[in-house]
Structure 1
Amino acid sequence: MKKTFRVAAMLFLSAASLNVAWSENNVVSPELGVIRGRVVDAGKHVLPGASIYVENLKTGVISDMDGFYTLPNLKPGTYKIKVTYVGYAPTEMTVTVPEGKTLEKTIILKEGLELQEVSVKGVFTGQRKALNAQKNKMGVVNVVSADQVGKFPDSNIGDALKRISGINVQYDQGEARFGQVRGTSADLSSVTINGNRLPSAEGDVRNVQLDLIPSDMVQTIEVNKVVTSDMDADAIGGSINLITKSTPYKRVLNATAGTGYNPVSKDAQMNFGFTYGDRFFNDKLGVMAAVSYQNAPIGSDDVEFEYDRDEETGEVFITDAETRQYYVTRQRQSYSLALDYNFNPNHKLTFKSIYNRRHDWENRYRISYKDLDAAADGEAKVEVETKGGSSDNRNARLELQQTMDYSLEGEHLFGKLQMDWGASYARASEDRPEERYFNLKQKDISLDVVNAGTRFPYVTNLINTREGEWEVDALTNSNQKIHEDDAKFHLNFELPLASGLYGNKLKFGAKYVRKSKTKDIEAYDYKDAYGETNTDYLNHLAYQVRDGYMPGAQYKGTDFVKKEYLGDMNFASMEGERLWEESSGNYDATESVTSAYVRFDQNLGKRHQLVLGLRMEATNLKYSGWNWLKPADGDESLEPTGERKNNYVNFLPSVLYKFDVNDDLKLRASFTETLARPKYSALVPNVALDLDDEEIVIGNPDLTPTISYNFDLSADYYFKSIGLVSAGLFYKRIDDFIVDQRTRGGYPGYEDVNFKITQAVNGGDADLFGVELAYQRDFGFIAPALKCVGFYGNYTYTYTNVKNFNFEGRENETGLSLPGSPEHTANLSLYFEKKGFNLRLSYNYASAFIDEMGEHAELDRYYDAVNYMDLNAGYTFGKKVKCTVYAEATNLLNQPLRYYQGTEERTMQAEYYGVKANAGIKVSF
């Protein structure tokens, strides 16, 4: 820790010495003035990314995401200012800066005209805010505004992200859950709220669950694919920054109400949203509050298969098969509040908060066919299982995930020195109270397997839980609590050093983040108390696999124990046996990251900009867990591992260059160094040893962070009629990526046992090369009448090659791809918008990619290619009060979530959701 503070102090002293040296040679006049304000349109909507240029000084600034701008260090006098914005007429004005004071100036832009006097309004008018913000960034950034998000049928942030170039998403119950940026797995990117990284509500990963946050709660989605030194460095793929709704310039009042239908649940869905914002006390106090509520009864039809490999012959064979029926009710609640208070033009406080709460009430009915490789010998097993919860939780397994983020920030201007600071608290949690399973088993039977080794094998035998020799194999009740708490503090300074065509500025600061995470699972089995031969359950059976089961009618159902019977059980009056294995993954972890940075921005004439940066991040870790031992002929045990510590420091340089060929064509080049820290659960120094199943899971506290050296080239051309064509190349040299290594062998004290051993390891290095292409424009350039029709499309190609593969037993393999890296991703949308009516057809594609590496290449798990098609329409009417009636249908191609093993024909999982439909009304006052 002392070393960390010494390094931080050195960076601050260096920055301070630069400031002192500059001050000694340049006496700061107390008469200098400042212009500050906000850029808005005629409707008083804020305009982010506007260019404010001072003609006299040949220098300028860009308005931020809330439309604010600051022009500091101005001598008293009169200045000519030019303001430009895509889709608006350029505005020129003359302002007089008073001596030693700050002038507040609101800039109002009007709708623009093209040279031929053709109105710029078209299908992409709502996207111009995002395009302006993207246009003026130094790094490679994709920005999507709330206007654009609202034009797609996306219920959560994950679904909205899949429309962005270079982003792929992975699904859960038909909704996007994790985002992958630029051909990297989800754990190599970060998700932030207003610049602060969100903690994860799940116990085993750092990945943020994007389906927790409704899409209508975010003002802007900003994907930074090139990070600068003043940003957190844990973003190898990129940083997904969700900007919540900010305080408005004028009163805002919006409401949404809708409903929908899902073919699995066949119940109605409800959607409600409300936003209110205004300013008070002579505009000193701004308030913005928003609420979103979604209640979606959904479900899925799922089949799953497991395979193994004969060590002698290399033959891969099927071992297990499952038929699963899911019924889920997913309820999302989200609340946000933003406040700002302007003490005077030079000092402002901002408070932002968002709270997200998702209930998942799930019932799962599963038929498992086990030991199918021995089915012909009459040694197979069948299990029939009901998954549910207590009667207090709708007789369903409740997964309650919550995230919250509260931040207080200040912005201050002291002469020419700008300072901002912030303190924030974030928490993520997952609670699963009284999760229950009732499992029936029948063993030593013969089963007939059809199409084994093909895309969809199945068992022809009809299973009847009312007949045959069944026994209660498991009756469990568990409670799970996971929570992560993050506290963050940051302080930044920005000092302009010179103005004019060769103006420059110095920015420096520091940040401290402390994380603590706990996973606590306690589970008991009550089968002995219930009685293995107890047949009372026979009075509480019901058929659950629905008609129209989408994987096919060949997958038969049976009667399952009713969820109400399981939910009404009083386990408090029964004696259960502790399941120590469930607790072996429990841990406590703390992590602190102390960072400091220096950033130097240099203008090289009017059209060239250079940014040099250096960031230092010092990481301090402390973990503890449990060792689980299950002897073949003795009692299980769970013993503490003791604490394990690890500390490391990373210095991360960055160089960014931007060339404005003209106002419309932007060229960018950059080099950055970024990192990704190992997930918490992999670092816990525990050993879970199961002699019955001959399996071991081993933690690895010696894991090192993954480091990436990133090179980017890009060119963007912005059409005056609102649109964009862009192309980019990127290369990443990734060192020490992490994979779960799967091997077989003995273990100290058990050398004669051939265990299946799983341990996370630094798997090697990889080269990642990519190409990004994007195009969006209406067809008005062909003929003015076609301005109502537009096209939005992007395509990303990534190629990865693994080197120095450190995976026991697979060290000599070549041609391996990096896990989590699809080769092709594409998004296409065709728009029609005229006289208030709009219609959009959208298509999303991602190719298959390796998701998890197996003991052998034949056992690698792949996430299959996806093809999604959505359709939405709306009609907007009214002037003072605008109403929009909308209807949408998603997943028109009924794309399943599918994994396969080794080869495309060997299905591991295929989960179907069906087509979903929604309709409703939006009102804006």
Structure 2
Amino acid sequence: MESYCLNKPLTKTSKITMKLKLLYSLLTTIVMITTVNAERSLFGFSSGGGMEGPFIYKVANGQVIGKVFDGDTGEPLIGATVRVQGLGSNHGTVTDNTGSYRLQGIPEGPQVLIFSFIGFETLTRNVEVEPNKSVTVNVRLDSGMEGMEEVTIVAFRKGQSRSINVQKEALNMKSVISYEQMERFPDLNIAESIKRVPGVVTEPARGEAESVMIRGLPSGMHTVTLNGQRMSATGDDRETDTRIIPTGMISSMEVIKSATADMDADATSGSINLITTRPVGDEVFVRGQIATGYNAMSGRPQWLSSLTYSKRVGKLDFVVSGNYQKDNRATEDIRHDWDVRDFGNGNQDVLAGLRPSLYETERIRASIGTQLDYSISERSSLYLRAVYNRFDEYELRNDARHGIDDGNFTAPGVSERARFEKVMREYNRITNLINLNFGGQNDIGKSTLDYNMGYSRGTFNVPLREYYAFRHSERPDYSYDISNRNFGEYQVTNDVNLNDPSKMGFRYYERRRDDIVDTDMFATINLRTPYNLGSGKGFFKVGAKAWRKTKDRDMLEQRWTSYSGTEPLTFENFFVPNSAGLIGGRYPIYGDIDWESGKRFFNQNESSFGLDVDRTRASSDPNNFSAVEDIYAAYAMTDLKFGNLNLNLGLRGEQVENFYSGNEVEFDSNGNYVRTIPVEADNIGYFNMFPMMNVRYEINKMTNLRFAYTETIVRPDFAALVPFRLINQDNEIITTGNPDLNPSNAQNIDVAFESYFQSVGFVSIGGFYKRFRNFIFNEVTMIQDPGSVYDGFMQVTPQNGDGASIVGVEIAWQQKLSFLPGILKDFGVYSNYTYAVSEANVSEPEFRTVTLPLQPKHIFNAALQFDKGGFSAQLSYNWRDTWLHEVGASTNLPSIEQNQEIFMDRFFQGFSQLDFNASQKITGNWNAFINLNNLTNSSHIHYFGRPIYPYRNSFHGWWGMMGLRFNL
């Protein structure tokens, strides 16, 4: 891959010149191809009959167009195969996202069309093809499952067949899951559902999937699209938070693992394409569900409702969807801190601190979407799509913090005059995601032109984040036992009563506000032109995209550290008794806070509280920035079919220009605020060319061999480029930006073998390899500056590594076991396994090789399905291996490690989750269902360096839901 990185700022003149040259080349290409479609010459060859040059052959005039529908529901069938009998595999095509197909270059005279779709009966139609004319043939395919009486099962297998057909016929490598398949898992949002796909893993937060990683790469390395159009990021990085999107808002999702030239080049680990429900033609379509549930940890209910309605009015098709979820959760969490002390016989491990916490969380998801399709003619249409998703999370956190190392360690397991604190938080964060797309498709001669204008806006808003902290006025003596290192035990050995709120004096009140806005505006145009090459048939596709992304953050963090009122302020002022013990009663939390009373008191007496100005500037100013990224892209690609061989070759070029402003905050050696310096940078431009190749060889109609070679890019997060310095004094962590970060370039190789079954299912095995230059990772170093207030702090800085690579294998098997005897034929399997190894070179605090962060070595999914007499059930198991969570500094923790220095990298220990889902047909198209999640109450464990140094262990309990579904 050729990469031209401009290390010096572009001048305004050169920037404009580059844009004009790029736009001129795009327009020239489009005009040239369009001229061909008006029956003019291509590359100097006439459009007359026969071969007019050494390579390019004229496309014959005969044409057949039409649509393929599900004979029962009227839904368009995507990925159905249409071919002409007796003319070889080159005279065939597959239906697009609207169920439409177009066969060109068909010899005149009587022909037989063959329509096929996995899980449906094959259909033939006779047609008379005439020169210079187009014949329309619309068909409805009957399900091959009509012998089955169980409506629920038929619907599920039809959904599977649609997704499997799309996967089988795709130009590139992808995994496709239908809405019906997602219903078989008890997952209520996209992030939860997508973890069932081969090569995909999620990072949980409070018992629910949050970030999605494809093939072990960070979430910012994949793109998220809605019906093929880009969705905005929803935080201060490049990630689109898919957990905010309920599964009820889509009809299927694709995980695309090898890029094509018409895709954005930053889909390095892949792309998640969410497909909304499409209009179903003449049929009225109504689908919905209503349910309630229970969370065992919180003891509170859950609620769910969704509805989708579709209808045709004249030439206008429309779909309207809505979804509402309310989820009440709780998490019990214990954190350990570790250190070493010498008691006369060499260093020994000591328990530096314990922090039991209770999180009570309420999550509300609300979504609404609509799609309007207007048919101008059989091959020309316009569409308008609008989707709005809102995620509202409210959370209370209650910490009891035992600062054992704030005292004096007098003997192993003994600390005198330590500290005890209570820190409580009330938190509300709201994420909004809006997507608007307007576009259309038109035929120009024998070519097809499609175009789109889009707007996407993601916001992350924190209107409420308050902290109250209190510290015990007396210093407790502790004895502790770490024979069970995952659950350290403690006792207070003097007469200090930790449960006396009158002795808990005010330490600080903190308020944080945050507002992040990420906006994308883009326009795309694509032109697809068919051609013949010898005995092969294919198409050229050229296109361009102009895209502007803006991101702004406005953040304020204030802490008041003193109170000068006439009466002392203690925890007793707002105390609410709570004698519950966390994690099996091991850890009391010593009371709750009345937040309404606490906030009201602060608001009425704010003048009596002393604001820590230094900390406000240190925590707020570096987080505020504004960034603009302009991308101008053009591509050309061809898809050519020779017999059983399908070649997809393309080249994409992208010019990127960044503009950003931020703040650098200066402090003196004592940590006192000096000044805030605005920092601006612009015209940081770079240009890249990205070759793309996808090869598919059909061993037979049901078996594929695939190979792909692609080159992609990983762009640094906007915030990482700003030269900020953010000081977290509580956790003793300093985070800095790095304006010298370079994009990371990736070379990607994929291979796969796929075999599909007409009875709906498939087996596949594939391998992948990715190699990175300038891989970006967060480097953690220990600050050693004796005399400075920051001595011993950890500093986290994004860096370009020397290089990184990842190699892996993915195996999947999905099938109903109908070939087995007796009751066994009613079972089915859904399973996949991913094995991946990686390495990255880091240089601080010394040169060494580590695995890529967030990349587990093993991922395993298994589901056993049972379908009988209208009853359907599935037991699902998801497991992933330990991963490196964060690269850390080195330290000595010698009592277990025999005085060997180890690196304090933080790891997230492997865990599993067992879920259950069942449904029963009641009558007609009504079904009752039940979902049960995390039946074994699996916990999430982090540790430093080795499992013997646990950092935190979180428990979430089990939860479930039951309700009704209907499909009318």
When normalised by structure 2's length, the TM-score is 0.88
Q: Name the CA distance, whole Å, in 2 between partners of 1:299 and 1:113.
A: 44
Structure 1 position 914, deviation (Å): 0.5
| 1:439 maps to 2:493 | no
What is the alpha-carbon distance in structure 2 between the residues aligned to residue 844 and residue 752 of structure 1? 42
CA offsets, 1:699-732, max 9 Å, x none?
A: 1111112221111111000112111111111111
Give the aligned residue type for 1:541. Answer: F
The alpha carbon displacement at 1:31 in A equals 10
Which amino acid in 2 is paired with 1:909?
R
C-alpha distance in structure 2 between counterparts of 1:692 and 1:329, whole Å: 26
CA distance in 2, matches of 1:181, 1:104: 42
Query: Is the 1:383–1:439 contact (alpha carbons within 8 Å) kept by the matching residues of 2?
Result: yes
Identity over the aligned pairs, expressed in percent?
26
> More displaced, 191-200 or 140-149?
191-200
8 Å contact 2:504–2:571 — kept in the other structure? no
Match of 2:198 among 129, 142, 165: 165
- How many angstroms apart in 1 are the aligned matches of 2:594 and 2:145? 66
Is contact 1:631-1:691 (8 Å) kept?
no
The alpha-carbon distance between structure 1 residues 256 and 696, as it changes in their structure 2 partners (threshold 3 A), is: closer
**Aligned equivalents of 2:862, 2:729: Cα separation in 1:** 52
Q: Deviations over 1:409-450 (max 9, x none)?
A: 111111111111101111111111132111101375433332
**Amino acid in structure 1 at the alignment position of 2:21:** R
Aligned to 1:251: 284
RMSD (Å) for aligned C-alpha atoms: 3.0
Counterpart check, 1:618 vs 2:651: no
| Distance in 2 (alpha carbons) for counterparts of 1:306 and 1:647 | 45
Worse-superposed segment, 851-860 or 492-501: 492-501
Aligned residue number for residue 394 of structure 2? 361
Alpha-carbon offset, residue 681 of structure 1: 1.7
Shift of the alpha carbon at 1:341? 0.3
> Contact 1:386–1:563 (CA<8 Å) still a contact in 2?
no
User: For residue 680 of structure 2, what is the aligned residue in structure 1?
Assistant: 643
Structure 2 letter corresponding to 1:36: I
Secondary structure of the structure 2 residue equivalent to 1:448 = strand
Structure 2 contact 716–743 (Cα < 8 Å) conserved: yes
Matched, 1:890 2:916: no
Shift, 1:820, TM fit: 1.4
Three-state SS of the structure 2 residue aligned to 1:787 is helix
The runs of 5 or more residues in structure 1 that have no matched partner are 389-396
Q: Compared with structure 1, are the counterparts of its residues 843 and 691 closer, same or farther at alpha carbon in structure 2 (3 Å cutoff)? A: closer
Give me the whole-angstrom Cα distance separating, in 2, the residues matched to 1:316 and 1:514.
Answer: 53
Structure-1 residue corresponding to 2:317? 286
Determine which of 705, 723, 735 is the counterpart of 1:685: 723
Structure 2: how far apart are the matches of 1:357 and 1:545?
A: 36
Which residue of 1 is the match for residue 908 of structure 2? 863
In structure 2, do the counterparts of structure 1 residues 853 and 301 end up closer, same or farther at CA, with 3 Å as the change threshold?
Answer: same
Does residue 528 of the first structure (1) align with residue 562 of the second (2)? yes
Taking structure 1 as reference, are residues 362 and 503 closer, same or farther at Cα in structure 2, changes over 3 Å only? same
- Where do residues 794-809 of structure 1 align in structure 2 (5 Å cutoff)? 794-802=832-840, 805-809=841-845
Q: CA deviation at 1:453?
A: 8.6
Deviation at 1:228, TM superposition (A): 0.7
Please point out which of 35, 44, 69 is paired with 2:101: 69
In 2, Cα distance between the equivalents of 1:749 and 1:672? 52
What is the aligned length?
901
Matched, 1:899 2:942: yes
**Tell me, what secondary structure is at the counterpart of 1:88?**
coil
Distance 1:114 1:696, change over 3 A: closer
Correspondence list, 1:795-834, <5 A: 795-802=833-840, 805-811=841-847, 813-814=848-849, 816-834=850-868
8 Å CA contact retained: 1:589, 1:623: yes
1:582 partner SS: helix
Contact 1:134–1:141 (Cα < 8 Å) also in 2: yes
Which of residues 23, 27, 34 in structure 1 aligns to 2:47?
Answer: 27
CA offset digits 1:364-418 (Å, max 9, x no partner) = 1111223527453545322202212xxxxxxxx2211111111111111111111
- 8 Å CA contact 1:788, 1:833 repeated in 2: yes
Does residue 383 of structure 2 align to residue 383 of structure 1? no
CA distance in 1, matches of 2:390, 2:234: 11
Q: Report if the CA contact (8 A) 2:420-2:498 is conserved.
A: no
Q: Provide the rounded CA distance (Å) in 2 between the counterparts of 1:134 and 1:61.
A: 14
Q: 1:783 aligns with which of 821, 845, 851?
A: 821
CA distance change for structure 1 residues 419 and 122 in 2, over 3 Å: closer, same or farther?
closer
Please report how far the alpha carbon of residue 97 of structure 1 lies from its aligned counterpart in structure 2 after TM superposition.
Answer: 4.7
**Partners of 2:735 and 2:561 in 1: how far apart?**
26
Distance in 1, matches of 2:747 and 2:486, equals 40
- Give 2:921's match in structure 1, choosing from 876, 883, 894: 876
User: Relative to 1, partners in 2 of residues 1:306 and 1:452: Cα closer, same or farther, differing over 3 Å?
Assistant: farther
Please give the per-residue CA displacement for 1:737-778, whole angstroms capped at 9, x wherever unaligned. Answer: 211112234789979966543211012312211111111112
Give the residue type in structure 2 aligned to 1:306: D
Q: Counterparts of 1:752 and 1:274 in 2: how far apart (Å)?
A: 55
Q: What CA distance in whole angstroms lies between the structure 2 residues aligned with 1:91 and 1:266?
A: 55
In structure 2, what is the Cα distance between the partners aligned to 1:663 and 1:182?
29
State the distance in 1 between where 2:904 and 2:567 align: 38
Q: 1:692 to 1:407 in 2, by over 3 A?
A: closer
Which position in structure 2 is the counterpart of 1:404?
434
| Residue 499 of structure 1, CA deviation | 7.1
Q: Report the AA paired with residue 6 of structure 1.
A: K
Residue type at the aligned position of 2:666: L
The amino acid across from 2:845 in the alignment is G
* Structure-2 separation of matches of 1:374 and 1:751: 20
Query: Residue 580 of structure 1: SS of its match in structure 2?
Result: helix
SS at match of 2:679: coil
C-alpha separation in 1, matches of 2:66 and 2:168: 21
Distance 1:483 1:175 in 2: 24
* AA of the residue aligned to 1:451: I
Matching residue within 780, 788, 792 for 1:742:
780
Secondary structure of the structure 2 residue equivalent to 1:661: strand
Q: Any stretches of 5+ residues in structure 2 without a counterpart?
A: 1-14, 50-58, 410-414, 891-901
* Separation (CA, whole Å) in 2 of partners of 1:276 and 1:28: 49
Deviations 1:183-229 (A, max 9, x none): 222222222222233222222x2222221000111111100111111
- Residues 604-615 of structure 1 mapped to structure 2, 5 A cutoff: 604=642, 606-615=643-652
Is 1:669 the counterpart of 2:699? The answer is: no
5 Å matches for 1:420-499? 420-442=450-472, 444-451=475-482, 454-461=485-492, 464-466=498-500, 469-498=503-532
Q: 1: CA distance between counterparts of 2:571 and 2:789? A: 44
Q: Does structure 2 conserve the Cα–Cα contact (< 8 Å) formed by 1:123 and 1:833?
A: no
State whether residues 502 and 570 of structure 2, in contact with CA within 8 Å, keep that contact through their aligned partners in structure 1: no
Does residue 93 of structure 2 align to residue 41 of structure 1? no
User: In structure 2, do the counterparts of structure 1 residues 514 and 900 end up closer, same or farther at CA, with 3 Å as the change threshold?
Assistant: same
Task: Tell me whether 1:341 sits opposite 2:341 in the alignment.
Answer: no
Shift of 1:670: 1.3
Once the two structures are TM-superposed, the CA of residue 125 in structure 1 deviates from its matched residue by 4.4
Show the counterpart of 1:3. 18
Counterpart of 1:762 in structure 2 is 800
Whole-angstrom CA distance in 2 between matches of 1:325 and 1:673: 46
For residues 692 and 905 of structure 1, the distance between their equivalents in structure 2, rounded to whole angstroms, comes to: 25
Moved more, 408-417 or 428-437: 428-437
- Per-residue CA deviations over 1:572-595 (Å, capped at 9, x if unaligned) read 762362522331211111111111
Q: 1:199, 1:428 within 8 Å by CA — same for their partners in 2?
A: yes
